[in-house]
Amino acid sequence: MLVLGSAFLVVYQRHIPSNSEIGTQQLSPRWQDRGTKSKDYDENESNNLVMTMASGPGVGTPAKNYSQGVSASHTGKSSDPGKSVDLKSVFISVKTTSSFHKSRLPVILKTWFQLAKQQTWFFTDADDEHFQKETNNHMINTNCSSSHGRKALCCKMSVEFDVFLESNEKWFCHFDDDNYVNVPRLATLLANYSPQEDWYLGKPSIRAPLVILNREDKNFSKNRQNVTFWFATGGAGFCLSRALALKMKPIAGSGKFISIGERIRLPDDVTMGYIIEHMLGKSLTMVDEFHSHLEPMKFLGQDTFQDQITFSYSQYGKDDWNVVKIDGFAPRIDRTRFLSLHCYLFPYFTFCPR
């Protein structure tokens, strides 16, 4: 059973990461001007897409021509069927909230969602007929509060986790609504690991593991002890294998994730790390190619874009954006740079300049 009760934060090297609490409130309303032109969508872009690796495994293997790989799988001419990840075995959840649907979902739906339509589900906090339709009924109303509080965020993560458990997918990958997911690169990452083994893949946003102090015990002075663990920043995205998720199920399934979050009073992604590293004794495998908006996006070199798994963005001030540095569409129509990034990675999309 759970040893800890209420614990509190002792050390936090930088600041509380993840959870869209940082940089989300100020998100520009400008995206709303753009709306979604569903005609632009490449309806046939993604169904039954099977990713094939061009060469051997290894996290961070050198750049491959993913546009070629994707095109090849479209035409069924994948040359190396032995080393492939069926993207259909991945459950992709995107955490969002009703007030961000209009500003954040259109660019996702127009870009990377098209490469993983069957696998991607949006977890939100209100019914939205428009986006329900745009996502082919892939919006899930968690019935969680739409606040940005810890409880609401743990509530959503809990629903994401439970819906994954009910699915038959081999991998659970969580992202935020300000992430761009390089779908083929995600598939090649997962091809390096077995879903029948315990894997927690992600990237911390602090330099040392988190230390929290157990304060629950009645024998406070005698028994209190530090608990040390790593956690993957939710805002950068992370993946869990089904084997690990099944081990978590008795303690964190069926909504129990929320009570653990309540007990340690820490955000959803920290709670995830606590469950996996502290309660189950499994380790986070650090994957450097996940990126949250806590990182300065401009330092990602364009020549490495196809190796990166996620990208993000945030707005600091009126004209001060933390975005990927890339030429392409004018900032006026591509403030997040995700359209330009997408065209760089997948130039065959119809909205991309020829």
Ligand X SMILES: *[C@@H]1O[C@H](CO)[C@@H](O)[C@H](O)[C@H]1NC(C)=O
Matching residue, tokens 């339509």: 117
Is 269 among the catalytic positions? yes
**127 neighbors 54 (Cβ within 8 angstroms):** no
* Of the candidate residues 26, 143, 196, 283, the single one contacting ligand X (CB under 6 A): 143
Nearer to ligand X, 123 or 175 (CB): 123
Our finding on whether 142 is near ligand X (CB under 6 A) is: yes
Least distance in angstroms from the C-beta of 222 to ligand X = 5
Show the site string, 76-115: x = touches ligand X by CB under 6 A, - = not. ----------------------------------------
Does 22 bind ligand X (CB under 6 A)? Our answer is no
Minimum distance from residue 260 beta carbon to ligand X (Å): 19
Which tokens is 347 given?
A: 């130039």
Structure tokens at 252: 């964190």
Give how far Cα 354 sits from Cα of 108, 228, 302, 330, 350, Å. Answer: 21, 52, 19, 16, 9
Helix (H) or strand (E) holding 153: helix 150-166
Binding footprint of ligand X, residue count (CB under 6 A):
20
Among the listed residues 33, 43, 80, 197, the single contact to ligand X using CB under 6 A: 43
CB of 159 to ligand X, least distance (A): 5
CA atoms 218, 220, 223, 224: torsion sign: positive
* CA 24, chain centre distance (Å): 16
Site for ligand X in 151-210 (CB under 6 A): 159
Q: How far is CA 337 from the centre of its chain?
A: 18
Q: How far is the CB of 34 from ligand X (least distance, A)?
A: 23
Q: For ligand X, which stretch binds (CB under 6 A), given 141-149, 165-173, 174-182, 193-201?
A: 141-149
CB of 69 to ligand X, least distance (A): 9
Residue with tokens 């090297």: 13
Site membership for ligand X, residue 55 (CB under 6 A): no
Q: Is 68 in the site for ligand X (CB under 6 A)?
A: yes
Catalytic residue among 178, 269, 307, 334: 269
- Token duo for residue 214: 């157990």
65 binds ligand X (CB under 6 A): yes
Residue nearer to ligand X on the CB measure, 31 or 164: 164
Question: CA gyration radius for the chain?
Answer: 20
**From candidates 77, 218, 332, 354, binder to ligand X by CB under 6 A:** 218
Burial of residue 262 (CB within 10 Å: 0-12, 13-18, 19+) is middle
Burial class (CB in 10 A: 0-12, 13-18, 19+), 109: buried
Whose CA is closest to 73, among 49, 45, 46, 47?
A: 49
Residue 145 binds ligand X, judged by CB under 6 A: no
Which residue in the set 225, 254, 302, 304 belongs to the binding site for ligand X (CB under 6 A)? 225
Q: Is 222 in the site for ligand X (CB under 6 A)?
A: yes
- CA–CA separation, 349 vs 110, rounded Å? 10
Q: Of 35, 39, 44, 58, which one interacts with ligand X (CB under 6 A)? A: 44
Cβ count within 10 A of residue 72: 18
Q: Does 67 bind ligand X (CB under 6 A)?
A: yes
28: contact with ligand X by CB under 6 A:
no
Nearest to 131 by CA among 162, 105, 157, 167: 105
Residues that bind ligand X (CB under 6 A): 10-11, 43-44, 65, 67-68, 140-143, 159, 211, 213, 217-219, 222, 225-226
Known catalytic residues are 269
